[in-house]
Every structure is written in structure tokens, then in C-alpha cells.
Amino acid sequence: MSFETDFIVIGSGVAGLRSSIELAKSGARVTVLTKDKASESNTEYAQGGVAVVLSDDDNAELHEGDTLIAGAGLCDPSAVATLVTEGTVFIKQLIGWGTRFDRDSGKLIFTQEAAHSRRRIIHANGDSTGAEFVRALIARAGRERSIDLTPFANTESLIVRDGRCVGVRFLDPILRTPREVFGRAVILCTGGAGQLYQHTTNPSVATGDGMAMAYFAGAEMADMEFVQFHPTALNIPNAPRFLLSEAMRGEGGILRNKFGERFMPNYDDRAELAPRDIVSRSIVAEMRRTGTRNVLLDMTALDGGFLRHRFPKIYETCRLYGLDISNDPLPVSPASHYCMGGIRTDLWGRSTVPGLYAAGEVTCTGVHGANRLASNSLLEGLVFGARAGRAAVEDSASLKGPFLPRDLSSDAPPSDQTAALSTAVRKRIKRVMWERVGILRDRASLERALKEFAQISSGNLSTSSRNFVTLATLVATAALWREESRGGHYRTDFPDQHDEWRHHSIQVIGKPIGTAEKMDFDISSRV
């Protein structure tokens, strides 16, 4: 059962919604597929806020500089400049669309986060910025009659014919039968892959399917070794890891060991405001030194009323576990949080496969380098989501329908209706990734992980299980290849950073791992 549209967007986070709005502005029919409800995405869980140059004491050069420093020498300057300069424009547009950021006497409230040289983080409802982004964008998308949003649609694979991406296979959410949709282009906005790890701040939908589908379609993947671990996830036995925002340390939170001693100044002069990779490794080192499974985030020096107002969601969540953030130090430890690597794209969301575009965490534009600067992710989805939508429209202007192929059977594999990821396979991969491809890595552990993944891959897997183990293999392969430590990638057997490794890792199906000097590439023959 097949149908056609003009454009297909997979994912309904900030990147997916913003690209859909941009596509619809052209009058095109837009089909949006998302594996859960429309609001369920990594965007929904973004707490801290969005970094943007709007305050009087800030400028684009400072924001660019902070992003480049955090990226540990691997950011593409052109990508960073695009993010920062266009980010201000798109945030102002979002405010014009009715997004309600927190204000004091009518003026935007700016807060501090780690590795930022200015208070440039704006937030909504205290610690629910992502949810406000989604609300505003869904409301704006709802005004475009040509957008058809289909929730609970599990995408199985991309359809590539004659070297061009022309459609998507997915499971119909009502009939639970396989369907195919064809169009001018596909935009992947499926988010990251935090669920690869045993401990993560990401929702259950963040399994990296979009990355795996793009890889199997022949797209180049870049910088898969760079995974960011958030330093402070609430660590309570038999409870999911709940993100405790970077902004809590920005507002004055202190990290202490089990003896109540502040330890971050012993590891970095910036203390609690050091980049996330440094704070995460410092916490791991302190836990090992003191023989504990967590450290403590101490907010007790701050006013209780302020904390309840500034972090209402965090306050209520901690209260459910019997913790009062104004009186009780909070047990925390690192958890996987964000993928800096992903589908290699240019600055307009074009992948190396004609007809396939991508935006947001699923991509690698070079904007984050080896380590994402706090609160740049919502900005990235907004800016590059709009850019991908615009490029898809312009690049396909000469294409004429109908897009539905006459022969629907020539390249269609048997549909896999066991969409649910095998629980046993998933648990095994997540444990191996956490123990052997985690915050601290070395050759022996990485090689052991790859052997286990090869063993799993040799079995009879569902599509989702195959995607999951393939993605884990890509991360471990790139981590084994990069024999240095940089940003979110730390090798205990190669602890130093070296200039000769200052290039991006590139992986494409059927070829050995290669390198690229920058993410941008010649697309003249690819669109």
C-alpha cells in the first residue's frame, strides 16, 4: 500500500517541525512521520534553555568563540558562524510566533551555563524550554493545512532508486501493515541515539534509527566517536536517570564528594563551569577515588523560593523521590546525553545521498566539533531545520510528479513487522556500550565491544535490532580508530590531544573508515 506526497519529514522535534513549516511555505504537501506522539522527542526534554545572542553585553563573536573552544578544535567555523548569526534571527521569529520565554518586568531573563562567557541562555517555564519550543512549533505548523502529521508511525527504511532517495517505508500506525510513501525528497530529523547506553537522559525514542537508515542508504556518517555524557543525572536506585540541568551549576550549584568536599577546583580552574566532558570525567575520577557510585550536587546555598521558581520541573521530580533540592544534596552521576556525530551534511542539510536531507542531532554539520556547547542544540535544530527545508524545496523545483513509481516491487525487501527492538539484544548492547565504549575508553575494551557486536549481528535480527547494533558498531569503530583524546572522546591509552588527528572521521557502508577536513562538500552533482 503506497501513496505520494511532495516532501517527507521523519521526526517531530524542533528540527522536524521547523523544516516542515519551511516546506509548507512553498505550498508543498508535507508528510511528517514520527514514532511516538507528536510532542515526544529529545526537544521535549530540553531543560536548560537555548543559547542566543540577544543581551546588550553579548555579541556573535563571543558566542562563536565559546562554541569553538568547547568543540576542542574540531568545529567547522562556517557552521558555527551560521548557527550563531542566523540563530538570533530565528529565535526572534519564534518569539513572534508566540513562544513564551521567561521575563522579568517584560525583559528576557538570561542565565549562565558552563563554558559560556556571557549570560546568554534564555529559558521557558523555568526548566521546560524544550516543551515550550514544541508547543509553539506545533501550533505554528497547525496553521499550515498542507502538513499531515502521522504519529506512532515506525519508519523501517529509506527507499533509494537510481542513487536518489525517493521515499520511506514505515508501519501504518492503525493497520500495523507496511506502507510506502514517495516524494521529491526526505528530511531526517530523528534526533540522537542516547538509548545506546545503559544510563541516559534521553527518552525511549532516541534509538538512532535515522542514523542507521541513512547509513544503510549509503550516506556518509561523520564523527560517530564523539558522544557527550551529561555530568549530572539524578542517580537513585531503580529509577530512570533524570537530567539535572546544566543551569543548576550555572546558578551556583556545587559538586561535592561523599565527604562533603568540593572537588571540581582540583580538576579544572573553571570548576563546576568547565565543559561537560571535563566535568563528567572529573566526576568519574572522584567516584573512583572515593569508592562511590555518585557524587552530590549541592544547591542548598540558594534560596528555596528561587529554586522552586527557576527549576519547577526538577523540584517536583526530586520531591517525588523524597528530595528537597533546597535542603538535600542530590545524588548525581554522568549519563549519555548527546551525539555530536551523525549524518554528514553541508550547511543546507544536504547529505551525500541525493534527495536525502537531515537536520538536528541526527546530523553532523561540524557545528559542535568534538563537544557540544551547552544549550546550542535547540538553536541548531531551529536554524538547520529551516535551512534543510528551504534547500529541499529549491533543489527539487525542477522535479515533476507523479513520484509514485510504476514498479513498486523491484527493490522492496520483505517487510519486517517485528518493529519492537528485541529486549535481550537491546540490554546487551546498552551494557557493552556503557562498560566498553563509554566515558573512558581503551583499545582492549573497544576491540572486545566490536567482537560482541559482530556476534550479535550474525544472528537473525529484526530491522530495529539491526539498526541498533549497526549504530553501536559505528561508534565503537570510530572510537577505536581515533588514537587520541579530544572533547567527548577520551582514550586512557591515548590521553593527549594531537594536531595530526584534527580531522573528521567518515564512515560509509562497504568502505574502510576515512577522513574529511570539514563537513561541507561539493554538492553540485548530488542534488
Beta-sheet pairing, 330-339 with 295-298: antiparallel
**Is residue 145 classed exposed, middle or buried when 0-12, 13-18 and 19+ CB atoms within 10 A define those classes?**
exposed
Eight-class DSSP state of 271: G
Contact predicate 275/375, CB 8 Å: no
Contact predicate 342/225, CB 8 Å: no
Q: What is the CB neighbour count within 10 angstroms for residue 513?
A: 17
Contact predicate 129/46, CB 8 Å: yes
What phi and psi values does residue 164 have, to the nearest 5 degrees?
-120, 140
Give the angle subtended at the CA of 388 by the CAs of 384 and 391, to the nearest 5°: 135
Annotation marks residue 140 as catalytic: no
Contacts of residue 161, Cβ cutoff 8 Å, sequence gap at least 6: 405, 411
Contacts of residue 277, Cβ cutoff 8 Å, sequence gap at least 6: 228, 229, 371, 487, 488, 490
Beta-sheet pairing, 227-234 with 363-364: unpaired
Eight-class DSSP state of 258: T
Alpha carbons 180 and 173: distance in angstroms, whole number: 13
- With CA atoms as reference, report the closest residue to 373 among 54, 63, 18: 63
Element (H, E) at 358: strand 356-358
- Cell 582514550 appears where? 491
Q: What is the CB neighbour count within 10 angstroms for residue 270?
A: 14
Contact predicate 136/94, CB 8 Å: yes
Q: What is the CB neighbour count within 10 angstroms for residue 113?
A: 25
As a residue count, the chain comes to: 527
> What are 354's three cell numbers?
541525493
Determine which one of 18, 140, 184, 276 is catalytic: 276
Contact predicate 136/97, CB 8 Å: yes
Alpha carbons 484 and 489: distance in angstroms, whole number: 8
Alpha carbons 352 and 357: distance in angstroms, whole number: 9
Catalytic residues: 276
